[in-house]
Amino acid sequence: MIVAAAGALVCLAVATLPDERPVALLTLHDAPATFSISYLHSVTRTPVEERYRVEGGALVQTEMRFEQHGPGLPTEADAGGSFTNEDGRFVSRMARRFDGIRMRVHRDQRPTLSSGGGQVDLTRWGDRALMVVPVDCPEAPSR
């Protein structure tokens, strides 16, 4: 996959794992390019929202919001981050950098990827492992 260049229109590719077969290409219309992934926590069964931005060809996790502590959720701030309670929800702000996100999705957790361009049900390709990576958007054909 081609990594997004600085200043270029940014898309997210969703691919199945382990074969890395692309199944969707989503354009991020916001500037800066941002998106979120929301789901029900597998243990607490409460909503979790993870927020990201695309920066220099990488994904930067900027925030996590949740109602109850559970396995895999933060309990304190990252170095340089913050951990607060806002309107009854825990809010952890951070700057965690990733080349891409690998996740296992299951319909019981209702995983959704959202951006200014809409929402995608991440289980539309079945209960399976997926990855999300930033890519350059294909150029529109000239007329």
Q: Give, for all 143 residues of the chain, the pLDDT tens digit.
A: 333 444 457 899 999 999 999 999 999 888 889 999 999 999 999 999 999 999 988 999 999 999 999 999 999 999 999 999 999 999 999 999 999 999 999 999 999 999 987 899 999 999 999 999 999 888 754 44
Rounded Cα distance, 131 and 19, in Å: 10
Mapped onto helix, strand or coil, the DSSP state of residue 39 is strand
pTM > 0.85: yes
Dihedral (C-alpha) 46, 50, 51, 57: value to the nearest 10 degrees?
-160
Query: What per-residue confidence (pLDDT) applies to 57?
Result: 87
| CA angle centred on 2, ends 138 and 110, rounded to 5° | 80
* Sequence ranges of the domains in the chain: 10-135
Give the three-state DSSP class for 4. Answer: coil
Structure tokens at 123: 């289980």
